[in-house]
Amino acid sequence: MSYPCAIERLSPGEVATIAAIDRGGLDPLTAQRLYELGFDEGVDIELLHRAPFGGDPIAVRVGNMVVALRRAMARLIELDAVAPPVAAAAAE
Q: Which of 33-37, 50-54, 57-61, 74-78 has the lowest mean pLDDT?
A: 50-54
44 has a pLDDT exceeding 80:
yes
Model confidence over 64-84: pLDDT tens digits? 999 999 988 888 899 985 555
Tell which wins on pLDDT, 25 or 49.
49
Q: How are the residues of the chain apportioned to helix, strand and coil, as percentages rounded to the nearest 5?
A: 30, 35, 35
Q: For each of the domains in the chain, give its residue range(s) and CATH number, in order of start.
A: 5-91 (2.30.30.90)
Q: In what order do the strands lie in the sheet with 58-62?
A: 5-6, 77-83, 15-21, 44-50, 58-62, 65-69
Q: Cα torsion for 88, 69, 16, 9, to the nearest 10°?
A: 80
Mean pLDDT, residues 15-25 = 89
Tell which wins on pLDDT, 92 or 18.
18
Q: What is the pLDDT of residue 53?
A: 82
Asked whether 71 and 8 are in contact (CB, 8 A), the reply is yes
The span from the first CA to the last CA of the chain, in angstroms, equals 17
How long is the chain?
92
The kind and range of the H/E element at 71 are helix 71-74
